[in-house]
Structure 1
């Protein structure tokens, strides 16, 4: 197995393509190293701190890249042991669902509609399952997001993703978490596409806080409703660009915590 100090002679420089998000550049470099034979099937990758240092990137960006590769079946994480190369025959990777998701081959609206279904369910589950430590962590992560400068796009995206991923984990539903992680690469691209103004950023932080407020009170309906309202904001920012009627949300109709969709596309 490769140790953390092996392959020091390999080129770890990232592509200079500034138009692509950093996690994509990291993913491309790791793919390159795997295809080139630096790492073989069954090999353990260096630890995250070592990889981040060699690539000169933040661990959060590295972790996103590793998650992208995990979704494609290229690497896998073994709890307590680290990241391992799962396969090196990458020719057909993009043909499966995970590969298509990682390659962003679905529309932003499709991704967001599935996200709303998953994350609102996760919010209601977290309201009855999250422990005090997880709730405190969510509050801290929202504070980080609130303090992020809107001019620092990467920090805004990463702090927002940390908040939402932590909420998903707080649902204590492993399948739901795995399904959500499959959406993460496309969602991050979507967030870059809809980079918020200061007003939208402030509103979003307030909505995060409201979700946490309901979670602390173990109110699953309130938490789901608050999360629905929050996610529909981003959804409508995207869909209104092509003239699609906005989805709405009301606490006074039928099943009160569900979105009311506009006409089908």
Structure 2
């Protein structure tokens, strides 16, 4: 793998990693390496070129798409649709969902382990009710709220207010970050919903007061969150959502004309 092109850029006051990749692609477009109508290299090649993860490349390409610089074409890839202004850089869309979820995996894995050792019967009861709410509302806002409350309740069960605050802050990033909102929104549009069986595995480990099992169950759950976002934002998945939305709009227009 090539040497990381961004290794000499300090962590402070620097663009996010996905933004650095996007800005490099913008620079290539500006210099004529890629022109309007050209297909960008596959994600795998871009990941190797910039020595970053597939997730970072995905965020960079979606950032370009949001700005109207690139577009997804079903079964074909991502194409340049417009050359940006010479002094343009990819706009800051804030932290992406993969970084947020990775941070959650680290923090919430340990929160679950600690909670399993000291959780009360009352807190187990609260989690059971949230699990019931999640199962009954897998495709609406009530389910998403139950999902959030489930994770925060586990953090609160550690008895460590600082830890609970960190978990809540990470959850709030999902709503405050434009990049997170965009990608989680695409995942929801593609049918990705909170996994009841993942949450049940975490609950069972907590109920058994098994710290190791709780940590593993939480890690497995958040690994699958990352995988589901990647799957839902694949080129074909994005196009399926767009095609379905276009068909729905046509149907609504047809019915309105009757």
TM-score w.r.t. structure 1 length? 0.47
Determine which structure has more spread, i.e. the larger CA radius of gyration: 2
Higher helix residue share: 2
TM-score w.r.t. structure 2 length? 0.48
